[in-house]
Structure 1
């Protein structure tokens, strides 16, 4: 198996991000807030705006996208932004690359990006009943917080809760409010 590289996408690479995002929505429709049909209909202006709003990371193997994640400003409904906290979201790995370390590389790149932005923590929302995701995040160093919210995914009849897990990025080991 050849090396996997992770890099940040620029605004002009919106079509590449769009392609891998649509692949993620097709493969795992129950894991995302949006639907593939909805996002396929968006125009170039929408995708360029999305690229500017958050940092988009892509994992590639032999020039083929095998994973994606985004890093943006952490927010909590009803409260103002916590400028010191970044949020990792939209993490997806192609089925052919699962179990090969792609997710770890994407999360590490997300943590590095957040640190470079001057953030003290990286937040990652995980379904409380998704033992595999909780174990992955915990193994990476994320710790659960008291913050919970209903999972916001497509087609969720009675959605489970998700928990904010937080990774300290520097000397501040405290847990920020969400």
Structure 2
């Protein structure tokens, strides 16, 4: 089944904020993730949790879509740092359908073909961005949940395979370096 993203998710903007006294609220920014979309450091709360942030507090399973900058990407908020709000770099996608998982939405948005499509709609040359309106219009194929889970498993295995190939390449290089060095002694 093909739907527009806006039919299966609710999109909210991230919030602009500056640090406060007695911080107890995490402020998630795109720099908090590495190239593999993992947390790249331990975060500390930098905002004070006031009522102005109540409607912006992230829920586990929300998809954070980096809609500004040179790298559009999606990650599923895992709740590692709670409570938290997303910066304005992100659009926050909340599931409105039981027929699609957050992980599948993130996978779909990170897929090379979707990335190409997103870049074709990007506005701005200094800081490219994707608007909420554009994101809502992106079409997504939504298979059965079982197929979504299978796709995600294959994707996870692909990441593991890449990591193993990288390790093999490093070990091969070390072996060749050692072998060639011993040949001149």
Q: With the length of structure 1 as denominator, give the TM-score of the two structures.
A: 0.29
**As a proportion of its length, which structure holds more helix?**
2
**As a proportion of its length, which structure holds more strand?**
1
Q: Considering only CA atoms, is the larger Rg found in Structure 1 or Structure 2?
A: 2
